[in-house]
Chains A and B, each alone.
Chain A
Amino acid sequence: MKVWALHLALIAALFTAQFVLSPYHTTNLARIMVLAIFAMGYNLAFGYTGLLSLGHALLLGAGMYAAGLSAQLWGLAAGPALLVGTLAGGTMAAAVGLLALRTAGVSFMIVTLMFAQAGYLTILYFAPTTGGDEGFTVAAAGRTFAGFDLATDTPRFLSALALFAVGLLVSLALVRSPFGRTLVAMRENEERSRMLGYNPFAVKLAALTISGLYAGAAGAAYALLFGYVGASFATIQYSILPMLYVLLGGAGTTLGPFLGAALMFALIEVASGLTTAYLFFVGLALVALVLFAPKGILGTIRERWVKWLP
């Protein structure tokens, strides 16, 4: 009960934040929430199921380009485009998973990385359609939902919050369900799981596909809420970022991805105001994390103090 209350309280707090924060920070918060959706998907695969992927940028990019291009080329409105983007992320994850899940551990990291690079190069190759390096802006018609342009302040914030809330509550329900227990079983002891009658390949493929749906939704939301689709979102950087968010906030905690995304975003924001070498501060934060809280912030809090945190 208190678990659900905690999550609903966070959603309520985020809703109130738009009345307190400046427009600049409100937009940033919307961005953080979209990135947190991406990170929640990554967390389901990595934090709960133990699948360390280095290719999630491919899934983010799949959702972003599927939504952006279907709005651009076929004139889809924002609602259907979001759906198309979400499904594109899930389909891409399932397709990659069918091949990549034949491997595990380091090989899995390399194979997923390879797929993501292939995806990035594909975007560049089809530059006449995708805009290549420069990307393209999503026209106002494609960003319209129920008469509102989603790339304006209040609709953007509310859409990001609504998607984030759905993503958060679904992930909470998922990890507290028997299926969530099965995911954790894969992470903890795959061989034992197999001898309890679970098909590890099928379970991991399901986890990766759900993770892809999250990444696809985040990519699509980014395209529609910020009106821009670009190849930079399909680069290795966007495979590493969700991992950093999850590790910082706490892998295998439902709220960790949001916390990690927010803190990392703030850190980069502050550090890049001070110096162009802002990645130095990111590195510093990670070293501190590994030394003092290898389970991430919420992972450590759960271990030491608040045992009931999901």
Chain B
Amino acid sequence: MAPLIETHGLTLHFGGLKAVDGVDFTLRPGEIHALIGPNGAGKTTFVSLLSGRRLPQSGAILLDGEDISRLPAHARVRKGIAYTFQVTSIFPRLTVFDNVALAVQSHGAKDLPAKTRAALARVGLQDLEAQEAQTLSYGHQRLLELAMGLALNPRLLILDEPTQGLAASEIAGFKSLVQGLVPETTVLLIEHNIEVVMDLATRITVLNFGQVLATGTPAEIRANPAVQEAYLGA
């Protein structure tokens, strides 16, 4: 199957810090791919390059074979790459409805209320649509962030530490939600909760010091001695 995303030698250094250092990476359509690695391994920087929030110093990013390396972020969103923020980024003073409507209407305003409510219903926020987003609990704000990503109808949904700060019960709901997204949407997940990763991911890439340490199925990653040494622990 032709890859959805390919990167070749993707590189971004901050002075002497090699945040992303020659990463070759392949994302297959319809998979849930987890990106793991110790803190500072370059995971967030790497997905920032994919989403266009940062531009690479060298290397290429291909979406469906098309080079998107220099496209600005908003143009990549329109091509179907959605990014949800690690630190929740919503419109705090707008209603929950308006937050999601903004995502829906960015690719056409037809049936706006219906589509907005549908996206809210997918994450279970349909009863809170009239509330100001800043009055939501933290867990609900994470769900709102996710609903905004979903409402973009993306081909690739990048989730940056989506379960951070969620209660155990909320994590279970989140997992089933993400499982329901594939194969229509491909998911790239940065996640520290290793149980979530092992349960959800079809493939895992481990980053360390800006480089790919290993890629494989959860079983392969678990058995990889280099990964165990760098990250998973003995």
List chain A positions with a Cβ less than 8 A from chain B: 178, 181-182, 184-185, 188-189, 191-200
Q: Report the minimal beta-carbon distance from A194 to chain B, rounded to whole angstroms.
A: 5
A189 (CB) vs chain B CBs: closest residue: B91
A193 (CB) vs chain B CBs: closest residue: B102
A194 to B152, CA, bound (A): 12
A200 to B112, CA, bound (A): 21
Choose one: B51, B90, B102, B148; the contact of A181 (CB below 8 Å): B102
Could you list some 27 contacts between A and B, CB below 8 A?
A178-B101, A181-B102, A181-B105, A182-B105, A184-B91, A184-B98, A185-B91, A185-B102, A188-B91, A188-B92, A188-B93, A188-B94, A189-B92, A192-B89, A192-B90, A192-B91, A195-B53, A195-B77, A195-B85, A195-B89, A196-B103, A196-B106, A197-B77, A197-B106, A198-B106, A199-B72, A200-B74
Residues of B within 8 A of A194 (CB): 73-74, 77
Name the interface size band of chain B. Answer: 20 to 34
Residues of A within 8 A of B94 (CB): 181, 184-185, 188
B77 (CB) vs chain A CBs: closest residue: A197
Q: Report the minimal beta-carbon distance from A271 to chain B, rounded to whole angstroms.
A: 35
Q: Report the minimal beta-carbon distance from B22 to chain A, rounded to whole angstroms.
A: 26
List chain B positions with a Cβ less than 8 A from chain A: 51, 53, 72-75, 77-78, 82-83, 85, 89-94, 98, 101-103, 105-107, 109, 112, 148, 152
B145 (CB) vs chain A CBs: closest residue: A192
A160 to B89, CA, bound (A): 44
A198 to B74, CA, bound (A): 6
Q: Report the minimal beta-carbon distance from B190 to chain A, rounded to whole angstroms.
A: 15
- Supposing A188-B94, A197-B107 touch, asked if A178 and B112 sit within 8 A by C-beta, the answer is yes
Interface of A is mostly: helix
- Supposing A178-B105, A178-B112 touch, asked if A197 and B74 sit within 8 A by C-beta, the answer is yes
A147 to B105, CA, bound (A): 47
Q: Report the minimal beta-carbon distance from A287 to chain B, rounded to whole angstroms.
A: 25
Q: Are the CB atoms of B152 and A196 closer together than 8 Å?
A: yes
Q: Report the minimal beta-carbon distance from B220 to chain A, rounded to whole angstroms.
A: 33
Q: Report the minimal beta-carbon distance from A130 to chain B, rounded to whole angstroms.
A: 41
For the A-B complex with A192-B89, A195-B53 known, give 19 more contacts whose Cβ atoms are closer than 8 Å: A181-B98, A181-B101, A182-B102, A184-B91, A185-B94, A188-B91, A188-B92, A192-B90, A192-B91, A195-B51, A195-B85, A196-B77, A196-B148, A196-B152, A197-B107, A197-B152, A198-B74, A199-B75, A200-B74
A226 to B102, CA, bound (A): 43
Residues of B within 8 A of A184 (CB): 91, 94, 98
